[in-house]
A and B are shown apart, each in its own frame.
Chain A
Amino acid sequence: MNDKIISLICGIIFGIGLVISGMTNPEKVIGFLSITHNWDASLIFVMGGAIITAGPFFYFLKNKELSALGDKINLPIKQNIDKKLIIGSSLFGIGWGLVGLCPGPAISALATFDPITLVFLISMAAGVLVKKNTIK
């Protein structure tokens, strides 16, 4: 199997997980971020479930050099805890709080064929491109 088919399958599984988990519902996400008012803690279980599932596999696979498809394993180099990380994550937090969509659910939201999801996605792409072209 080639990596395009694998990517497609993984995207489909990921997308189904997102819908079942509630992450694709901005109201649900805002409920999680609304810690001072009617807090809905459900989304802790999404991240918790994903980390508990993936964590042990990452641990056992960490010394592998080649993937099953024979590609070199491409893990990010250790990232510094610097201004970029802190400011970038803060800006992302503001955007996440404003709308209740992070990148995965924003893309899955296209499944509704609601034009407003396309507006969000185009704005997100603009943010990615501005960052890419202004900050190295």
Chain B
Amino acid sequence: MNSFTPFSALLGGVIIGLSVVFYFYMTGRLAGISGIFENAITKASQRLSNLAFLLGLVIGPLIYFNFIASSAPVVFNITHSYLLIIPGGFLVGFGTRLGGGCTSGHGICGIGRLSTSSIIATGIFVAIGMLTVAVLQQFGIYL
């Protein structure tokens, strides 16, 4: 059921990397999404700029589906129950801010800058994510 798609994954990754670089070059800030999200909802300074980035994250897929992709592939297929969605969302918000970054902040910007703490953080959240999925599968959730 899971198909291996290395080319689209690599292309998407390169595009994300270009966005991160352009953002850093122009503004001097790192495009860590959990940090931008926290600042957008808690800080008055640069709020409009942070909200503009988040708005772009929503507009990007709309542009892609309406003007670039000929047919919309299956994405955003959230089929879980609220019993997973609500604690999952909470832990993502709480955990990324406690740990100082998410997949973009630690995984891309941090590793891209060869930061030891980001390499460790990324190793931890990927490993724990894998463990979580394995445990859920043991209980018959997902597969």
Contact = CB atoms under 8 A, between A and B. Distances in A.
Interface of A: 3-28, 30-31, 33-55, 57-58, 61-62, 64, 66-69, 71-76, 78-81, 84-104, 106-112, 114, 116-117, 119-132, 135
A50 B94 contact: no
A94 B24 contact: no
A89 B78 contact: no
A99 B136 CA distance: 11
B28 A67 contact: yes
A29 to B, nearest CB: 8
Nearest to B28: A67
A51 B50 contact: no
Nearest to A11: B56
Contact of A128 (B4, B41, B88, B116): B41
Given A21-B8, A47-B107, A131-B97, 10 more contacts: A11-B55, A19-B64, A21-B11, A28-B2, A34-B137, A58-B112, A94-B95, A104-B33, A108-B58, A132-B97
Contacts of B65: 19, 111
Given A7-B27, A53-B13, A80-B117, A14 B19 contact: yes
Interface of B: 1-6, 8-31, 33-34, 37-38, 41-42, 46, 48-50, 52-65, 68, 74-80, 82, 84-100, 102-104, 106-109, 111-118, 120-122, 124-134, 136-137, 142-143
Contacts of A114: 76, 78
A88 B90 CA distance: 12
B29 A74 contact: yes
Given A14-B16, A58-B112, A48 B10 contact: yes
* Max count, chain B CB within 10 A of own CB: residue among A19, A53, A68, A72: A19
B102 to A, nearest CB: 5
Contacts of A79: 100, 115, 117-118
